[in-house]
Structure 1
Amino acid sequence: MSLIGAQSYAKLLENGVQAIEEVNRLRSSGYTKDNIYVISHDQDRETRIVDAANINEVGLGEEGLFGAIANLFRSRGDALRFKITALGFSSAEATFYEKELDSGKVLVIAKKNPQ
C-alpha cells in the first residue's frame, strides 16, 4: 500500500537510509514530523532511524494506555502488529507488514490528521 492522499500511507524499505529518504519525501509532500512513523523489528534500529529523521515513535497517543501497557507483555511481532493497526491499518495488512519486517525491512507510515 502506498497511497499519498489517503488517510494512512505505508511503504516498506530495505534499509534505514531509504527510510530517512522516504521521510524527507513525505515531509516535502506536506506531512509533518508528528504524522510520520518508522517501524522496524529491531528496536535499536528503529530508535536510530527515528532520531536521525527527527520523527515520532508509535506511542501512548496512538496505542492508547491499555494498548501501550499490553505491548510491554506482548512478543515483538504482536506489539508491531498492534502498532500498525493503531495507525489505521487492518489486521491482515498488519500481519503482511510484520512478516516483511521479519526479513529486515523498515516500514514508514504517514498518517494524516482527521479533518
Structure 2
Amino acid sequence: MDAANAKAYAKVVENGTQAVETIRELRMTGYTGDQLFVLAYDDGHTELTAEAAGARPILSDSDEPDLKGTKIFRSSAQELRERIAGMGFSEEESAYYEDQLETGKVLVVALTPAI
C-alpha cells in the first residue's frame, strides 16, 4: 500500500458490525473499495471484517491475504503501529490507534488520492 500520495481518514469503531456500516457510509460519499481499509488487533478479525465490508485488510508487507479467515494470530503492538503508519499516519496517531485496537475496537481507514 503506497500512502505517499494520499490523505488518510480514520475512524475507530466499537466492532466489526460498526466497521461494515462505516464502510457503507463512506461508499455512499464516493469512496471505492480500493480506498477503504480495516484493521483489528487480530488478523483473523481484520480479514473477516474486511471481507464482510467489501474493504481491504491492512496487512504488513510480509502478510499474504487470506480472506477465508484461516490465518489467525495476534499481532504485536509494534507491528500494528507500523501497519497504521504505513497508511500515512504519524507515530503519535499510530500509537493512539494501536491502543484503541488493543481494547477490541476496529480501525476504518479511507485513502483519498492527493489533489
Q: TM-score, normalised by structure 2?
A: 0.79
Quick one: percent identity of the two aligned structures?
37
CA distance in 2, matches of 1:91, 1:14: 22
* Residue 49 of structure 2 corresponds to residue 76 of structure 1: no
CA distance in 2, matches of 1:58, 1:97: 13
One-letter identity of the residue aligned with 2:94: A
Extract unaligned runs of 5+ from structure 2.
1-5, 64-74
Match of 1:30 in 2: 30
CA distance in 1, matches of 2:78, 2:42: 14
Match of 1:18 in 2: 18
CA distance in 1, matches of 2:57, 2:19: 14
One-letter identity of the residue aligned with 1:94: S
Structure (1 or 2) with the greater helix fraction: 1
Match of 2:42 in 1: 42
Match of 2:101 in 1: 101
Cα offset, 1:99, TM superposition:
0.5
Cα offset, 1:113, TM superposition:
1.6
Summarize deviations over 1:36-94 as a string: whole Å, max 9, x none: 110000111111101111111224xxx6xxxx24x7xxx52111111111111000000
Please give the root-mean-square deviation of Cα atoms over the aligned residues, in Å.
1.8
Structure (1 or 2) with the greater strand fraction: 2
